[in-house]
């Protein structure tokens, strides 16, 4: 079904037409109080709710920049902590983030005891925004944020003015979330659980018409016992995609083959070296795009690595489903500016370049280093890692760390807050690996070793104690 056919069906079904022919229902405006508002998803949801006209307030255990300043700029009042007084803040509805757990935050106990209305963030988003949209969802262990940014930009460049909610900030937009009158909405679809009262993955709420399955590995060891449990959640997502929708899947992932083999009622297009969508690289930053053996476009951009070429293929295939030709998508991608914290250059001092990257899973660490190595050749790379994600803190992926860091010339690992023996884990690469529990001491060691032409790549899914600015100041 084409977009025009879908739009006509929706008009007949709902009988409501908005700007530019977009169908939408007018929500009842209310005061929404968001618990866990400073997370990337909940913060984006807060922005969308504010843009929809709701009064929005929120709380979190750690209200700090940059999310706090972004939300305050939107006129959203923030409260530090989860004290019980907030139950009487005058909210019509409490939107609960998955950071909230029973028995730890007094506020949630007061909400439950008082019979206050509450809902999860993903459910609220579907009911208030997504249910009348053509949703394009990007799922997978790696590359969700970058690919969502690419897809939103391709739709934007084609004049479709999409709404979006992304777990990072695409530099083409400068914001992580927005609500528009467009029929299209791009969302980063995460497999993490929804809320303390809903243990399904968040993405089953979104009911996408177009879905990208980028890849699938074991992660989130704090909530999933094994890969099979995550595959089950991905199968639930597949079950929500209509027969006239499209699934764009990585053709090189056995895990995704298993997911689809459990039942699939939707057309599937695969990308990868032996799939329908392929990339033929011509240098580190240029490649031809082929579909079923035919060249359909060419991309020239600043992004590095095979993983980003695969992200691009998935984007082009998904965009084609809403009527954007591959040639148009390739042209748009040539103007794509990457998401912040994806190999983002934070500064160059005395010839030493400092990068910030979100990589926190061994596969992401390896692919990030691969991309940087392709760019810098034989120049030295200092990999500076903080094992901060719940999976990494549990040590579930520690055996994979040495191999993932193979392309680095020096490895500096901050072990503060980690219970397992980091130095012992890195023993296979002990000649180049150094472990620290004091951030200041680690920075001093890095600066003492670095010289012109070196590349310092910091990797963490958190703020890493402001290490980037500290390194740049120390290098002066």
Whether residue 256 has pLDDT greater than 60: yes
Q: Which two tokens stand for residue 305?
A: 């690595």
pLDDT for res 390: 67
Distance CA 162, CA 153 (A): 9
Domains and CATH numbers, the chain: 26-121 (3.40.50.720), 133-333 (3.40.1190.10), 344-475 (3.90.190.20)
Rounded to the nearest integer, the mean pLDDT of the chain is 88
Whether residue 263 has pLDDT greater than 80: yes
pLDDT for res 284: 78
Distance CA 49, CA 136 (A): 19
| This prediction's pTM | 0.80
Of 181, 234, 229, the closest CA to residue 212 belongs to 234
The string of pLDDT tens digits covering residues 397-435 is 788 888 889 899 999 988 877 778 888 888 888 889 898
Average pLDDT over residues 372-390: 86
Task: Provide the pairing of β-strand 246-250 with 210-213.
Answer: parallel
Torsions phi, psi of 84, nearest 5?
Answer: -65, -25
Count of alpha carbons within 13 angstroms of residue 467, beta-carbon side: 31
Distance CA 345, CA 368 (A): 13
The string of pLDDT tens digits covering residues 243-254 is 999 999 999 999
Q: How many CB atoms lie within 10 A of CB 468?
A: 21
Cβ(186)–Cβ(148) below 8 Å: yes
Distance CA 296, CA 300 (A): 14
Q: Exposed, middle or buried, 346 (CB in 10 Å: 0-12/13-18/19+)?
A: middle
The 3-class SS string of 164-198 reads EECCCCECCCCCCEECCCCCEEEEECCCCEEECCE
Which carries the bigger pLDDT value, residue 213 or residue 373?
213
- Sequence-distant (6+) residues with CB within 8 A of 311 are 143, 146, 147, 150, 214
Average pLDDT over residues 73-89: 93
Burial 385-424 (b: 16+ CB within 10 A, else e): bbbbbebbeebbbbebbbebbbbbebbbbbbeebeeebee
Of 346, 317, 352, 362, the closest CA to residue 466 belongs to 346
DSSP for 325-367, please give it: -HHHHHHHHTT--PBTTSSEEEEEETTEEEEEE---SHHHHHH
- Rounded to the nearest 5 degrees, what angle is found at the Cα of 64, between the Cα atoms of 62 and 66? 135
Of 215, 227, 303, the closest CA to residue 252 belongs to 215
Whether residue 1 has pLDDT greater than 90: no
């Amino acid at each position: 079904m084409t977009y025009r056919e879908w739009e006509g069906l929706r008009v007949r079904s709902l009988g409501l037409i908005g700007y530019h022919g977009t169908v939408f229902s007018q929500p009842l405006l209310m005061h929404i109080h968001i618990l866990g508002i400073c997370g990337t998803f909940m913060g984006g949801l807060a922005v969308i709710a504010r843009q929809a006209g709701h009064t929005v307030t929120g709380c979190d255990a750690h209200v700090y920049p940059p999310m706090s300043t972004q939300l305050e700029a939107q006129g959203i009042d923030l409260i530090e902590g989860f004290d019980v007084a907030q139950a009487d803040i005058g909210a019509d509805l409490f939107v609960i983030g998955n950071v909230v757990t029973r028995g730890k935050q007094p506020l949630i106990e007061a909400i439950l005891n008082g019979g206050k209305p509450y809902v999860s963030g993903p459910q609220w988003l579907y009911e208030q925004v997504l249910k009348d949209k053509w949703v394009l969802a990007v799922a997978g262990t790696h590359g969700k944020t970058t690919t969502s940014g690419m897809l939103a930009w391709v739709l934007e460049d084609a004049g479709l003015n999409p709404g979006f909610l992304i777990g990072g900030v695409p530099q083409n937009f400068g914001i992580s979330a927005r609500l528009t009158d467009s029929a299209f909405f791009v969302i980063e679809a995460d497999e993490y659980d929804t809320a303390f009262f809903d243990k399904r993955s968040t993405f089953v709420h979104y009911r996408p018409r177009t879905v990208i399955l980028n890849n699938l590995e074991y992660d989130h060891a704090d909530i999933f016992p094994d890969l099979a449990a995550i595959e089950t959640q991905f199968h639930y997502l597949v079950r929500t995609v209509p027969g006239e929708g499209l699934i764009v899947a990585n053709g090189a992932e056995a895990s995704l083959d298993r997911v689809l083999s459990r039942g699939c009622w939707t057309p599937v297009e695969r990308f990868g070296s032996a799939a329908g969508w392929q990339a033929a690289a011509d240098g580190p930053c240029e490649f031809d795009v082929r579909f079923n053996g035919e060249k359909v476009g060419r991309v020239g951009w600043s992004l590095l690595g095979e993983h980003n070429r695969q992200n691009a293929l998935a984007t082009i295939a998904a965009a084609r489903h809403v009527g954007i030709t591959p040639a148009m998508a390739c042209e748009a991608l040539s103007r794509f500016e990457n998401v912040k914290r994806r190999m983002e250059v934070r500064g160059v001092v005395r010839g030493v370049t400092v990068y910030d990257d979100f990589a926190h899973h061994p596969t992401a660490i390896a692919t990030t280093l691969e991309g940087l190595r392709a760019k810098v050749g034989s120049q030295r790379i200092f990999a500076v890692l903080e094992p901060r994600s719940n999976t990494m803190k549990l040590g579930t992926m520690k055996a994979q760390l040495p191999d993932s860091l193979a392309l680095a010339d020096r490895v500096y690992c901050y072990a503060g807050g980690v219970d397992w023996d980091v130095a012992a884990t890195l023993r296979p690469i002990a000649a180049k690996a150094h472990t620290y529990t004091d951030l200041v001491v680690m920075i001093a060691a890095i600066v003492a070793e670095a010289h012109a032409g070196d590349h310092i790549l910091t990797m963490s899914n958190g703020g890493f104690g402001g290490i980037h600015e500290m390194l740049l100041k120390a290098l002066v």
